[in-house]
Structure 1
Amino acid sequence: MKRFLTLFLTAMLAAGLLAGCGKKTQETQEYTEPAAEEEEKNIKIGLSFDSFVIERWLRDRDAFVAAADQLGAEVNVQNASGDVEEQIEQIRYLIKKQVDVLVVVAADCMALSEVVQEVKSAGIPVISYDRLIQNADTDLYISFDNKKVGEYMAQALTDALPQGGNIFMIQGPEEDNNVKLVREGFDEVLKNSNLKVVYKENCEGWLAEQAVDALDKGLEKFPEVSGIMCGNDDIASHVVNTLAETRKAGDIVVVGQDGDLAACQRIAEGTQTMTVYKSVESLAEMAAEMAVKLAGGEKLELDGQTMNDGSYDVPCFLLEPVAVSGKNMDSVIIDGGVHSEDDVYLNVPQLQDKKE
């Protein structure tokens, strides 16, 4: 009897505990449901990146996500790591996730045309971010004036080399439509100068380390080179490091773009002449604002400017780049809060001493 009573009490206690657990689970479900409903009201943005090989894309991502969050939107970021087929599959995944708008940094501006049509067929507006997807009729192309980037690069070379000379061009991949636009601006300015482009090479997938072999091959054919146009500052880093090995860094004019800290330091040191600074934070914030408007069915207030993607005239919004040299480094980069004075002049302490 005593044993029976013990078993009975144990069973009753267990039942009470199970009932308590059941009640707790039910309360948790009631708590999470409103959050889920609230989440459904948020605008969902799909953000598809080619890769994060270029350091600036991390800044674009962070600024875009932060700006979208402030506007009440959530962002699903996908990184294709430079694989075009992977980017296509990731875009299809974002269609299935029923994003309200898609923003794409294209790995290959030609290869994404068909999948973008799939996105548009699903009723999802598409923004070409920084690189114009070809033959796709995207709803917006937002970038910098890349033709002007090329003009600034060429002008810096002509100003530094009034006597003329041989020029190398070590660019990004042809699949990036911006490479073509930069080259258009570059060639336009150069045709009225005494400079001659004797060697051209591309770094596939924006893999900057390829610039080392490209430069070595160029120097074998044309050892007397006066200036080098680099597709971006990352490529310029490898070019200047290679030149330094033969004590030529500083003797050959090097230009790049992006306003990377390393490039600004090289300009302070005298081994790079100019970089074209582009405020990626401004670009990302503006893109996030326009993405939210498109997702909400709002009409974008643009100036009517368009750019042809090969088949369609796409509405575009182009931000102004800024040519940065030693002359305006302080006013643009340091006073603008892009990089700190200590960081820019880290390797030239004598300049820091003069400023103190």
Structure 2
Amino acid sequence: MKKRVLGLMMTAALAMGLFAGCGPADTGADPAATTDTATESSDSSAPAASNGKRVAVAMPTQSSERWINDGSNMKEKLEALGYEVDLQYAEDDVQAQVSQIENMIAAGADCLVIAAVDSSALVNVEEQAKEAGIPIIAYDRLLMDTDAVSYYATFDNKGVGTAIGKYIEESKDLANTDETYTIEFFMGSPDDNNAVMLYNGLMEVLQPYLDDGTLVCKSGRTSFDDTCILRWSQETAQQNCENYLTGFYADEKLDICATAFDGFAYGCKAALEGAGYAVGEDWPLITGQDAELMATKNIIAGSQTMSIYKDTRLLADKCVTMVQAVLEGSEPEINDTEQYNNGKITVPSYLCTPVAVDKDNYKEIIVDGGYYTEEQLAE
């Protein structure tokens, strides 16, 4: 079984030839370049002899559409290269994921791809993989407090928060307005490093407007600790929003729901409808992330304002090239060796670029890019 390949000494040459739709935080990237790359990168991946090698893919849950897409995309691409693929979902059960990974190791996996439910619970099983010589690639959620991880494939998570913040800033013209807007925050899971980075990117944009009173959070809950939602729970987001509306907005309308995930947007939508808000009348600006099919339909209908489009086909492509490089004894393409310190090491990473989508540009980015069809969106 191949020994784990570490890529801690990366040269500048590794940053050349990046996907057109992926790269360091540039949320103004050309949408056409982003979507066209999915076909280009798939076509350029020539099948290689897998020598019967097995790739085990541990995904967190099937409760979110994006993880289903991630898993199926990766499985398809790995199998096209001739690898045997063991894809399993833990349904947000921490111990279930630990057991799954233990079984993957025992079954003779040659490489592990892990999107963690709670990475703090995986430290011991990751050490088992390291001792067995099995390389680990973290997928879209950084594996914390371990030196067993070789690489990390993700989107620019701070850039996601920045894009959400800038969308709010520009939509409400915060830099120039004399108006005051009320806002409440619904941030990601405290056991997911991505959630913290997203929050940091968001607040870099919005904190000045909270400080000068342009934005007012009547609940006073603006810190990450006060706004994070364990396991990205839609139900908790709805309950929080209901509590805010009842406790703080009986006499004044809520203008902005700054949410970090489409599931949170669904929860806020349900809470707002229950409180009597109506689309087209007093409906607030609602943000999201992942551009799920339902979220895109809601954007078209006006009950969600925007989402962050993250083409999981591109992310799967990038992770597959990492797997292939590791198993062939070479070094994968990397474009970040500084941001993702997991408490033990700084993990060499590849960051794809997120893109904000709304009613004005979803056709160009999502439909023309082949992510969803008009028929799917009309169902």
TM-score by length of 2: 0.77
- CA deviations over 1:90-144 (Å, ceiling 9, x no partner): 1111111111110001011222222212211111110110000111121011100
AA partner of residue 256 (structure 1): G
Partner of 1:107: 117
Partner of 2:82: 72
Structure 1 residues 273 and 41: alpha-carbon distance in aligned structure 2, compared to 1, 3 A threshold = same
Structure 1 residues 113 and 222: alpha-carbon distance in aligned structure 2, compared to 1, 3 A threshold = same
Partner of 1:338: 371
Partner of 1:95: 105
8 Å CA contact 1:147–1:185 kept in 2: the answer is yes
8 Å CA contact 1:268–1:345 kept in 2: the answer is no
- CA deviations over 1:237-259 (Å, ceiling 9, x no partner): 12112212333244211000101
Question: Does 2:248 match 1:222?
Answer: yes
> Aligned-pair distance for 1:320?
0.4
Q: d(CA) in 1 for partners of 2:71 and 2:124?
A: 25
Structure with a larger share of its residues in helix: 1
Partner of 1:236: 265
Q: d(CA) in 1 for partners of 2:327 and 2:88?
A: 19
AA partner of residue 301 (structure 1): E
AA partner of residue 61 (structure 1): G
Structure 1 residues 86 and 148: alpha-carbon distance in aligned structure 2, compared to 1, 3 A threshold = same
Q: List aligned pairs for 1:187-266, cutoff 5 A.
A: 187-193=203-209, 194-197=214-217, 198-199=220-221, 200-223=226-249, 224=252, 225-250=254-279, 251-266=283-298
Structure 2: gaps spanning 5 or more residues:
1-48
8 Å CA contact 2:262–2:295 kept in 1: the answer is yes
**In the comparison of the two structures, how many residue pairs are matched?**
308
Q: List aligned pairs for 1:162-181, cutoff 5 A.
A: 162=174, 163-181=179-197
8 Å CA contact 1:53–1:207 kept in 2: the answer is no
TM-score by length of 1: 0.82
Say which is worse superposed, 310-319 or 216-225, in terms of deviation: 216-225
8 Å CA contact 1:109–1:177 kept in 2: the answer is no
Q: d(CA) in 1 for partners of 2:129 and 2:187?
A: 31
> Aligned-pair distance for 1:40?
9.1
Q: d(CA) in 1 for partners of 2:363 and 2:62?
A: 28
Structure with a larger share of its residues in strand: 1
Question: What secondary structure, in the 3-state scheme, does the structure 2 residue paired with 1:311 have?
Answer: coil
Structure 1 residues 152 and 124: alpha-carbon distance in aligned structure 2, compared to 1, 3 A threshold = same
Choose from 296, 299, 320 the match for 2:331: 299
Choose from 321, 328, 351 the match for 1:289: 321
- CA deviations over 1:187-211 (Å, ceiling 9, x no partner): 1111232224433444322231222
Q: d(CA) in 2 for partners of 1:218 and 1:259?
A: 25
User: Which protein has greater RCO, CA pairs closer than 8 Å, 6+ apart?
Assistant: 2
> Aligned-pair distance for 1:304?
5.0
What is the percent sequence identity of the aligned residues? Answer: 31
Structure 1 residues 104 and 175: alpha-carbon distance in aligned structure 2, compared to 1, 3 A threshold = same
Q: d(CA) in 2 for partners of 1:257 and 1:288?
A: 23
Question: What secondary structure, in the 3-state scheme, does the structure 1 residue paired with 2:124 have?
Answer: helix
AA partner of residue 109 (structure 2): V
Partner of 2:166: 155
AA partner of residue 238 (structure 1): G
Structure 1 residues 336 and 304: alpha-carbon distance in aligned structure 2, compared to 1, 3 A threshold = closer
> Aligned-pair distance for 1:345?
5.4
Q: d(CA) in 2 for partners of 1:344 and 1:164?
A: 35
Choose from 133, 137, 159 the match for 1:127: 137
Q: d(CA) in 2 for partners of 1:252 and 1:118?
A: 49
Give the aligned CA root-mean-square deviation in angstroms. Answer: 1.9
Structure 1: gaps spanning 5 or more residues:
1-38, 347-356
Q: d(CA) in 1 for partners of 2:79 and 2:127?
A: 27
